[in-house]
Structures are given as structure tokens and as C-alpha cells.
Amino acid sequence: MNFYKISLPGWEYPLRDGINITDYFGTTPGITRYPEDILSQPLRDDISRRGLRISEVQVFISPGPHNMKIHIDGTEIGANHCAVNWIVSKSPSWVMSWHEYIGPDLVSEPNAAGTIYMETPSEFCTTLETRMWTGPALVNTSVPHKIVNLSTTLRYCISLRFVRADGGSDFDYVKSVLI
Ligand SMILES: [Fe+2]
């Protein structure tokens, strides 16, 4: 599985009080990194209590409607990277899907936001799993994936990336801590 719902006290909503989504994050689609202090204190406390360290707090704003290209985060399919994602906007209709890629070898390149990612052309992909959720979810970002925003409104996603105490970062480890 590439997806797990997280059900932990303090994790229901990620942002601290006083953040109005559109005022604070703006309305321009893209990926922006923010300091950890946009997160609620109970969430930050629980993350450190569990021995996890946040490497990045990313906010994705997807236009609506929008069909993202299938890609992996990073440079290696199956590298086991992960994210914990919350959708914090009223975006009524969207899905995240994961895909199997069977095709030619690929090269990675930084995208406009400076994130290293690799596109996996859809003609070589078959769908493995499709999800929509509320609240936090652990997602595998090194299996080819995409978001489809079927809404006509912007979709705001808060995405946390973690590092292990020993410097590594992987889906199975974060899963063992959170699920
Ligand atoms: Fe991604």
C-alpha cells in the first residue's frame, strides 16, 4: 500500500490558530516551503515526542481543475520517500493516484520550485491505487503518483517531509512510527 490514514491526537488539523488559508498562503499555484511554526504546537510536540524530525514543511497550491503529470519525488522509483499530507481547503473533488511505470529509463530534473522530481510518462503507467481523504495521510512519494483536482477551486495541501534520527528518510520507518 502507498497510502495510510493517520489517526493520532493532535494531528487532525496541522496549522496553528490564526492562519487564514488564502490570506496567509496566497492564491498562486505552486510549491512553497514554510517554517515549522505554521504548524500547531500539539502537532509539533507529538512529532518530536515520536522521535521524528521535520525536514520540510511544503504547501502545494493546485489550480482547479488540474491534471498533474505522473511523477516521483526524488530521482529513484521505489526509493521509499514519503510525506504526510493534509488538504486544508474546501476542495470538494480531487484524487491522488499511484501508478506502476514500465518504460524507458528516465532522468530527473529540478522543477520550477527547485524540487527534484522525475516524470514518468503516462503512456507507460498503469494505475495501482486511487485515494481521496480528509485529515492526515501518509503517502509514498517514490512510487509514481499524481493529483487530479476536479474542483474549480484551488486545492491547498500541507505536506510534511521527515528525516530519521540517523539521517535516513523512508516510508516504512515513518509508517512504523505513525500507523
Ligand atoms: Fe509528488
| Amino acid at position 159, single letter | S
Q: pTM here?
A: 0.94
| Amino acid at position 73, single letter | D
Domain assignments of the chain as residue spans, ordered by start: 3-178
Give the model's pLDDT for residue 117. Answer: 83
Query: Could you tell me the distance, in angstroms and rounded to a whole number, from the CA of residue 73 to the centre of ligand 1?
Result: 5
Q: Residue 98's beta-bridge partner residues?
A: 129, 145
pLDDT higher than 70, residue 164: yes
Q: Which CATH number is 3-178 given?
A: 2.60.120
Query: Could you tell me the distance, in angstroms and rounded to a whole number, from the CA of residue 145 to the centre of ligand 1?
Result: 6
CA-based Rg of the chain, rounded to a whole angstrom?
16
66-83 residue pLDDT tens? 999 999 998 889 888 999
Query: Could you tell me the distance, in angstroms and rounded to a whole number, from the CA of residue 116 to the centre of ligand 1?
Result: 10
Query: Could you tell me the distance, in angstroms and rounded to a whole number, from the CA of residue 86 to the centre of ligand 1?
Result: 14
101-154 residue pLDDT tens? 999 998 777 666 667 789 999 999 999 999 999 999 999 999 999 999 999 999
Query: Could you tell me the distance, in angstroms and rounded to a whole number, from the CA of residue 33 to the centre of ligand 1?
Result: 14
Query: Could you tell me the distance, in angstroms and rounded to a whole number, from the CA of residue 37 to the centre of ligand 1?
Result: 23
Query: Could you tell me the distance, in angstroms and rounded to a whole number, from the CA of residue 139 to the centre of ligand 1?
Result: 10
Say which residue the cell 498562486 belongs to: 28
Task: Give the cell for residue 86.
Answer: 493534509
**Residues 36-56, mean pLDDT to the nearest whole number:** 96
pLDDT higher than 90, residue 158: yes
Query: 91, 48 in Cβ contact below 8 A?
Result: no
What are the residues whose beta carbon lies below 5 Å from ligand 1 (ion)?
A: 73
